[in-house]
Amino acid sequence: MSELDEHRVAELAKQPAQVLEGEGTQSAAREEARKVLEAQAVMRSAGEPSDGPEGGDG
């Protein structure tokens, strides 16, 4: 996990669990997941090293 990912996870952990209550929770959860996945895609396309073995030179 990159430093940016770790920072984002830490921010989310500090927030109250408001997404788990009330109407529209699935929509809010999907939107947040989409944002995280888009950020990961941008980081990968920008050339950040991958966490997996496929990120190596060999």
Angle between helices 25-45 and 3-14 in degrees, nearest 10? 160
pLDDT tens digits, one per residue of 1-58: 677 788 888 888 787 765 555 667 788 888 889 999 988 888 888 876 655 555 554 4
Within 8 A by CB and 6+ apart from 49, the residues are: 55
Counts for the chain of helices (H) and strands (E), in that order: 2, 0
pLDDT at 58: 42
Sign, CA dihedral 43-9-2-33, equals negative
Reported as type and span, the H/E element at residue 11 is helix 3-14
